[in-house]
Structure 1
């Protein structure tokens, strides 16, 4: 029942995105006599649909909370769906402040991609491990995610500014560098989307492969013993685990065994499978990006540029700055202050240089530098936009890369 509300929210968000696109593109129609009123009317419809979707996802959130008996933010599926919901909430708040319909064309896709990405992880309700059985789970995770949600809106505004201001017809060294930067950012979003599509496609086809590794575990009385650990692949294994034994593998394009083995220096749980996932993500992202480029016949940034022709660049710049200015103190409380208090209660220390702690600090320092450079050095316009885009890419690495690739105390279950 709760999953139906999440699916309903996802569909409504997608419809709201289309409405925001209509609000922007329809203003240039010769049949529209009052473009301002037209954009405002369709923008309000998009807002109403977004709020309906948010209410549906909020209903899902509380229903799953009731089913699980604890706040549903304890694994990758739950946290990423919650982050998507917070991005939508942050977008609603910023939209009500500025009434800019085009923001929906860039902010909603980020939330949609995050929710879609969450769906590739196991959805089963899982009991909390002892370290997470604390009221600080509610306080720390929710506030950290809410702060990151405003960073996502700042990212959307920054990308809007860059797409609007970059000279895609320029041939100078500076123009080409900016064009590549915008295209790389768009490629990153396309890559995540392609990864989701690939996972669903191979799941629908029933693809499966399994390998076994010898791992050392500590049993009763602190006695170490070697046991077999199974590693399951959903994507065809181009790279098998280091010294992994093939248990079963469904043939793929004539391939009956992996052509490569993960290098020995790759440590951590399921390192080979995760490396295989990275390879597939880049490959599928390159294919999807290439298809989109083939259809558009020009850079995707240049394709999107006409959507922003009527926007005041100063307004877009202000939206990005305000979103980050709102999110920064919230993130500071959630990801640092509350996190350190909880760490002291759970592990007896405020700071332990765990990978997630280090990257949370990097995010905090990056946005501190952003605000300092903007307020003290006058970094506005393109400089500010580039920082907001790079900052959120660092956030996404903290959420995805650290959880999936780097082992640590903060690694989510189901990753």
Structure 2
């Protein structure tokens, strides 16, 4: 039942996004008798559907909680679906504060991509490992995710501001640099979406490749020993494990062996799989971005620019700032203070320079700098928008790159 509710929520979010798009485009159409009324009507339809989707999403969350016997935020599938729900909640809160329908055109795709990304991970209910068997799991993860959700809304507002105010017709060096920045942001979103599509495609084809390789591990006494470890690929192996042996591989594209081995300096049996995933995501992102550019026949930022016609730039700037101002103290509590208290209970220390801890601190420092520059130095407009966009890209690297690429004490969340 929980999976069905999540699927319903995903579909309703997509329809709500379509409602916001119809409202914005119709509001600017000369063929509509009263564009303002038309836009408001479809805006109300969009937010109504968004709330309906959120209720279905909350139903998924609580039914899975009942199935699992613990709060469903203990692995990547559960955490990313929860983050998607929090992004939608943050959008709903900000929408009712500012009544901005165009925000839905930029914020809802972020939530949809996050939920789709979650769906590539194993969905089975898993028992909690000892380190997670604490009431701090509820407190730390939920507050950290809520803070990141408001950062996501700030990112959407920042991207809106840049799409509206970057001059895509200007050929000067400064303007071209801004144009490339907007396109890189949209390309990054295309890479994440391409990763999701690639996983679903090859899973649907029943693709699988299994390799065996020797890995150097340290035992409890810190003595190194070599063990044999199996690694399963769900994407065709452009890069296989270093000095690995093929145990099973579904033939595809004429490949019966990996095209290349992972470099020897990349340690661990999963190093080749992680490199392979990154390469496939980049290839897929380039293809997807190229197709979208071909359809639009112009830079994607320039194609989105007409959506922002008539929207007050100062309102967008204010939405971005307020979203981050709300999210920052919540993130501070969840990702730093509560996390350190839990770390002391679980591992006997408040701080240990684990990669996830380090990147959470980097995110916190970045947004601290954002607020300082905004409030003390008057960084508003484009400079503030760029910071909000870059900040959320750092958040996404913390969630995706650190969990899935860099090994650490939080690696269990990538299973």
What range describes the TM-score normalised by the shorter chain of this pair?
over 0.9
Q: Distance in 1 between matches of 2:307 and 2:237?
A: 41
Q: Does 1:293 align with 2:293?
A: yes
Partner residue of 2:59? 59
Q: 1:273 to 1:35 in 2, by over 3 A?
A: same
The answer to whether the 8 A contact 2:21-2:105 is kept is: yes
Partner residue of 2:38? 38
SS of residue paired to 1:412: helix
Q: 1:206 to 1:345 in 2, by over 3 A?
A: same
Q: Distance in 2 between matches of 1:219 and 1:380?
A: 53
State the shift of 1:125 in Å: 0.7
For structure 1, which segment, 342-351 or 277-286, has the greater mean C-alpha deviation from structure 2 after superposition? Answer: 342-351
The answer to whether the 8 A contact 2:80-2:115 is kept is: yes
State the shift of 1:41 in Å: 1.4
- Kindly tell me the number of residue pairs found equivalent between the two proteins: 415
The answer to whether the 8 A contact 2:241-2:269 is kept is: no
State the shift of 1:34 in Å: 2.7
Q: Distance in 2 between matches of 1:210 and 1:319?
A: 48
Aligned-pair RMSD on alpha carbons?
Answer: 1.5
Q: Distance in 2 between matches of 1:59 and 1:143?
A: 19
For structure 1, which segment, 40-49 or 146-155, has the greater mean C-alpha deviation from structure 2 after superposition? Answer: 40-49
Q: Distance in 1 between matches of 2:248 and 2:299?
A: 42
Partner residue of 1:198? 198
Partner residue of 1:372? 372
TM superposition score normalised by structure 2: 0.97
The answer to whether the 8 A contact 1:143-1:330 is kept is: yes
The answer to whether the 8 A contact 2:231-2:269 is kept is: no
SS of residue paired to 2:215: strand
Q: 1:328 to 1:391 in 2, by over 3 A?
A: same
Q: 1:280 to 1:3 in 2, by over 3 A?
A: same
Partner residue of 2:397? 397
Q: 1:269 to 1:339 in 2, by over 3 A?
A: farther
State the shift of 1:414 in Å: 4.4
After superposition, what is the alpha-carbon deviation per residue over 1:84-139, rounded to whole angstroms, capped at 9, x for unaligned?
A: 00000000000000000000000000000000000111111111010100000000
The answer to whether the 8 A contact 2:230-2:269 is kept is: no
Structure 1 consecutive aligned stretches of length 4 or more whose deviation exceeds 6 Å: 218-224
Partner residue of 1:96? 96
- Structure 2, unaligned runs of 5 or more: none
Partner residue of 1:113? 113
Q: Distance in 2 between matches of 1:259 and 1:36?
A: 57
SS of residue paired to 2:193: helix
- 1:11-410, aligned counterparts within 5 Å? 11-216=11-216, 226-268=226-268, 270-410=270-410
Q: Distance in 1 between matches of 2:77 and 2:145?
A: 14
Q: Distance in 1 between matches of 2:368 and 2:80?
A: 24
SS of residue paired to 1:243: coil
SS of residue paired to 2:264: coil
Q: Distance in 1 between matches of 2:308 and 2:222?
A: 63
The answer to whether the 8 A contact 2:213-2:269 is kept is: no
For structure 1, which segment, 329-338 or 25-34, has the greater mean C-alpha deviation from structure 2 after superposition? Answer: 25-34
The answer to whether the 8 A contact 2:20-2:43 is kept is: yes
SS of residue paired to 1:246: strand
State the shift of 1:252 in Å: 2.0
Q: Distance in 2 between matches of 1:221 and 1:331?
A: 37
State the shift of 1:227 in Å: 3.6
State the shift of 1:215 in Å: 3.0
TM superposition score normalised by structure 1: 0.97
State the shift of 1:31 in Å: 3.7
Q: Distance in 2 between matches of 1:127 and 1:269?
A: 24
Q: Distance in 1 between matches of 2:192 and 2:400?
A: 11
The answer to whether the 8 A contact 1:268-1:407 is kept is: no
State the shift of 1:39 in Å: 1.5
After superposition, what is the alpha-carbon deviation per residue over 1:273-301, rounded to whole angstroms, capped at 9, x for unaligned?
A: 01000000000000010011011110000
